[in-house]
Structure 1
Amino acid sequence: MAQVKPFSIDIQESQLADMHRRMREARWPEAQTVDGWGQGVPLDYLRDFCDYWLNEYDWFATQQRLNQYDQFTTTIHDLDIHFIHVKSSHSCATPIVITHGWPSSFVEFLKVIGPLTEPTQFAGNAEDAFHVVCPSLPGFAFSGKPAKTGWGVPRIATAWDTLMNRLGYQSYLAQGGDWGRSVTTEIGIQNRGACKAIHINNPKEEPTAEALIQPSEEEKEALAGIRFFNRWDSGFAKEQSTRPQTLAYSLADSPIGQAAWILEKFHLWTDCQGTLESIFTRNELLDNIMLYWLTNTAASSSRLYWESFDIPYGPDQNKVVQLPTGVSIYPGEIVRIPRSWAEGRYNNICYWNHLKRGGHFSAFEQPDLYVEEIRAWKRSLL
């Protein structure tokens, strides 16, 4: 029988020393020729950010904090999968697997694990309780790096179902955003029997034929969002889906390059009104960046795009989700599509809600709202 082994993060001081050396010896480019973030991360901001990283950020304090969560690894399809697994003290708790995306990691969910597992300590009821499983996607953080092709969204969805079964959960719920949305949707499409319902943050479906001819105001906004993304925001995805190896040489060699590649997306995709650190502390941003740098996963995380991005709106446009589906739409999301577009994919939408705050990294940005949404979705299933 496959083993589930306890895991503890153990980064060596030599890895930090190497990173600090690279930062001190970095060759910086000249400043951008426009104000703000219009050409990418501004030089002054990144210099200040990296000065804090080099001289004030304490990785070992972060490592100690992360190791307070129950972490494990198990081998599925010949690949080690890393995951957090926190069980609730409430016997009525519902198992849930929550999946992150890029450029995020399991740290996106650390703020919500407590409220989800022990709701009576966070203004909830025992019936709101979950047993929480947060895996690291293959090639991300402490999960194994696929050495062969094939680890796209369908295989990950199958692996997550295997994981939940291996943990003893005969039924469970699934939730995710970004690539987590794609994996969660694929779990619903595969419908292997154990997953009973899904919830996603950012459905990403093609416009209906009617929307292209005579769009409503909501559809005009969504179409404008798609145009903006394609024109100004999709370069990262094009590179990672076509030439991830070429990109990785720079990101694997330069912690400053890795940080900029991630920070630019957090700035644009967060509901921060242009001031990223009004939502996240520098430590929070660095905790996530460090999980890419210390594990040298620039290449392996990017390859998920190469494996899966030939069909950008999901694993198969001809397949639909019959399971009960909840959807939360945050105002700072990349594109906010109308329900009518999503209904072509999700045939049993039982919960749909627009929120007033939050963006692409909802659990990280607005943990209280995220928890409220997950609780409300679960209640809609009763």
Structure 2
Amino acid sequence: MSQHFVSTLFAIRSYFTWLPPSIVSILMLVIVGILGFYCGNLVVALILRVPGSRSVALIRTIVSALRRPAKLLTSLLAMLAALPAATGFTYESEQDIKLFLLFVLVLTFGFSMIIVFRHMTEAYLNRLSSKDETDDIMIRTHQTQIRVLRRLTEIMVGIITVASALMLFPSVKQYGVSLFASAGAASLIVGLSARGLLTNLIAGVQIAITQPIRMEDLVIINGDWCWVEEINATYVVLRVWDWRRHIVPISYFLENQFENWTHNSAAIIGVVFLWLDYQAPMDRIREMLNEIIRTSPLWDGKVFDVQVSDCNAQVMAVRIIASARNALQSWDLRCDIREKIIARIKEECPESLPRTRFAMMPPKPGSEGLADDWFSPPIERPGPGSYMGPGTPPLGK
């Protein structure tokens, strides 16, 4: 077929012998490239019109993303196939044009591979996230592994593509061979310079395998509640509850201690402390708390308890524990418990509220209370029947 294509080009070329050979060759390559461009556009349009099931829909999505690279690929392939018929160039010029076309072809093909891989993994991630499970560790594990390995694969494909494209040129290839042959000190210097990058790349592979963190895990960094929003090849993006973002090197999670509240499950037990007076009726307060927690939609129905966990000279500490489906609901549940139990204590048993007591004790057991002349300056108390002012009855009346 290629031979027939070249023969057809030679036949067409024979009608333009009145033009300079170089001009005819340039015009022929340009026209063939334009025709290949529109042929690629036609093929893409036909594929996008094919009806079908979900698998065909995925193919249409990938083809739509590859619209521009596909047109460029067909154009480059057409020009490479027509190059033997471009006899108006010298041998050196023909080789330079061929190398340039191959260079662009390799780069376009590598870029197309990255696009295809990215859309396939994205379709798989979307299918995982569309499931109804709210606490599926396996889903978050797959999401983390795919995102990390996808980044690493894209980097590797990009490096291999650029290296392959550059190796097409003899001068670059010879330079690369000589560089590898004498790369003793140079490789050491480059390795030391890129130590941080290589450390994070290797840490990314370890994160994908060992899973200390996953997508949407809740971790504690510098006292902040953070959700794992992105796991890239060299860094992790953490989303704080107030919409701030922490950008942390991925090696941090292998070299430092941190808290992961959702490593095995998103469910979590929240703790609320109340400081009450010793006069507090604990049975009544337990009944109040039981009514509050039973009617709360935030409680998952698994863990609930009320205990007097500590006491001091003034108050006793009451600890309330209640479980929720995730950390956000646990926070809202604890706030709801505090607000409602304080309101009910104020209304139904205000004697439970903390208070400060002060007692005047006699100096010796069995003696009377403090005398007035013990104070400085002395206190002059009004006697019975003394007049304190308008509207005030005399003392002793």
TM-score, structure 1 normalization:
0.20
TM-score, structure 2 normalization:
0.20
Q: Which has the higher contact order (CA 8 A, sep 6+)?
A: 1
Structure 1 or 2: more helix by fraction: 2
| Largest Rg, 1 or 2 | 2
